[in-house]
């Protein structure tokens, strides 16, 4: 199984022992899982990957679960990478692709992170988890907790898409709707978790959701025959997808599977909630809390991300950028791939489509560059949003 070695703080580099339950570092920094990559390089060949399961667990040697019996899987990962020729022609590109994570269990990429995190909860003896969520992480947490026999406590803004609420209730989770944003939900979890005996599964407040999400990077490399694209557009709420993929690229280079070439990482946000875009434009290392956040893309309504400094670092090191798009542009971005390619994207995916169109138009992307748009969820979870 795994080559898990230790955990390391992303801020102060303090090390933590594997095999124990950890949240944040003492300094408040998110913990990152580290592996014995030298050993893995000797023992694990990329040509053997295709012999593994048809899920993200084909990369189990670089995931933290130590016992196969701990794995809680619903078949997440290994999602389609689709060349979108009509959309390319419409946008003036010759090599445009969509990575469609909307076909994951629970209909979003959140299944990846929760599969890994809930598996580690099972391995480390956690019986109760609590999750503040803008919607989709809640649905995934409820489903995987149900599969693991773990009690799930969900806190979501009252105006989340109805599908998110219903899927949590049907999965047996204890759901609380909050008048406020995801930051208000997180505050409730933080205040109550010790008294209630909950393990906090908030984004980056535990080290394992990022490990599931990094498999997006492994898949991109494998599906492109181990040559990374020129650019990746990713919707940036909590930013963990960008952080995870960047971590995956570093690991794969250390394993000798890919070169040092990196895609330009593009963080896409909504104009009604663009804290990371603002920080990028100001040259700041981290974002400030964004007041009065509003957007129809619920997954992008995150006024302050704990790992924003890591996402910004990846964007800058890659020569990428951060860009905000309006709700009207998001709606157009949903309609474009739906009408030209049959891909019904979540608003967050629509935001990336809209951002790609703008970056091709202004010359940031050359028409010949291989560009991957990440659609992180199914549009079917947002029917009432689109039916307004």
Q: What's the distance, CA 41 to chain centroid? A: 26
Domain ranges of the chain: 81-108+209-386
Cβ proximity of 269 and 262 under 8 Å = no
The confidence score (pLDDT) of residue 269 equals: 98
3-state secondary structure of 131: strand
pTM over 0.75: yes
Strand partners, 378: 345
Q: What's the distance, CA 376 to chain centroid? A: 8
Using CB atoms within 10 A of its CB, is residue 19 exposed (0-12), middle (13-18) or buried (19+)?
exposed
Strand 31-35 relative to strand 81-83: parallel, antiparallel, unpaired? unpaired
3-state secondary structure of 101: helix
Q: CA separation (Å) from 193 to 42, 143, 256? A: 42, 20, 42
Angle, CA 114 vertex, CA 302 and CA 270 arms, to 5°? 20
Rounded distance, CA 208 to CA 35, Å?
Answer: 13
Using CB atoms within 10 A of its CB, is residue 284 exposed (0-12), middle (13-18) or buried (19+)?
middle
CATH code given to domain 81-108+209-386: 3.40.50.1100
State phi, psi for 347 to the nearest 5 degrees.
Answer: -55, -35
Query: Nearest CA to 99 among 361, 337, 383, 367?
Result: 337
Task: Encode the chain (388 residues) as per-residue pLDDT tens digits.
Answer: 799 999 999 999 999 999 999 999 999 999 999 999 999 999 999 999 999 999 999 999 999 999 999 999 999 999 999 999 999 999 999 999 999 999 999 999 999 999 999 999 999 999 999 999 988 999 999 999 999 999 999 999 999 999 999 999 999 999 999 999 999 999 999 999 999 999 999 999 999 999 999 999 999 999 999 999 999 999 999 999 999 999 999 999 999 999 999 999 999 999 999 999 999 999 999 999 999 999 999 999 999 999 999 999 999 999 999 999 999 999 999 999 999 999 999 999 999 999 999 999 999 999 999 999 999 999 999 999 998 7
Rounded distance, CA 78 to CA 59, Å?
Answer: 11
The confidence score (pLDDT) of residue 1 equals: 74
């Amino acid at each position: 199984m795994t080559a898990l070695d230790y955990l390391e703080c992303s801020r102060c580099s303090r090390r933590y022992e594997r095999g124990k339950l950890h949240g944040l570092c003492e300094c408040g920094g998110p913990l990152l899982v580290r592996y014995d990559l030298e050993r893995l390089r000797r023992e694990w060949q990329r040509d053997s990957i295709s012999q593994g399961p048809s899920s993200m667990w084909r990369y189990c040697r670089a995931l933290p679960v130590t016992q196969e019996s701990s794995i809680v899987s619903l078949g997440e990962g290994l999602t389609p990478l689709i060349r979108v020729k009509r959309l390319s022609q419409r946008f003036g590109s010759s090599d445009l692709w969509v990575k469609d994570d909307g076909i994951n269990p629970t209909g979003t990429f959140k299944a990846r992170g929760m599969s890994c995190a809930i598996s580690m909860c099972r391995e480390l003896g956690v019986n109760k988890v609590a999750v503040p969520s803008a919607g989709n992480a809640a649905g995934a947490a409820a489903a995987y907790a149900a599969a693991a026999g773990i009690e799930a406590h969900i806190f979501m803004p009252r105006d989340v898409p109805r599908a998110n609420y219903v899927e949590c209730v049907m999965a047996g989770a204890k759901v609380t709707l909050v008048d406020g944003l995801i930051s208000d939900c997180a505050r409730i979890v933080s205040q109550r978790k010790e008294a209630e005996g909950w393990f906090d599964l908030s984004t980056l407040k535990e080290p394992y959701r990022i490990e599931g999400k990094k498999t997006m990077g492994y898949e991109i490399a494998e599906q492109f025959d181990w040559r990374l694209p020129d650019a990746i557009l990713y919707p940036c709420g909590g930013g963990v997808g960008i952080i995870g993929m960047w971590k995956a690229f570093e690991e794969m280079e250390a394993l000798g599977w890919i070169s040092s070439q990196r895609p330009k990482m593009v963080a896409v946000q909504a104009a009604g909630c663009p804290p990371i875009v603002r920080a990028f434009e100001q040259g700041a290392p981290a974002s400030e809390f964004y007041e009065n956040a509003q957007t129809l893309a619920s997954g992008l309504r995150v006024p302050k991300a704990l790992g924003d400094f890591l996402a910004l670092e990846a964007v800058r090191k890659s020569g990428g950028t951060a860009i905000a798009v309006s709700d009207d542009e998001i709606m157009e971005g949903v309609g474009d791939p739906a009408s030209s390619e049959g891909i019904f994207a979540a608003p967050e995916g629509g935001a990336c489509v809209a951002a790609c169109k703008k970056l091709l138009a202004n010359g940031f992307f050359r028409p010949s560059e291989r560009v991957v748009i990440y659609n992180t969820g199914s549009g079917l979870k947002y029917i009432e949003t689109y039916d307004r």
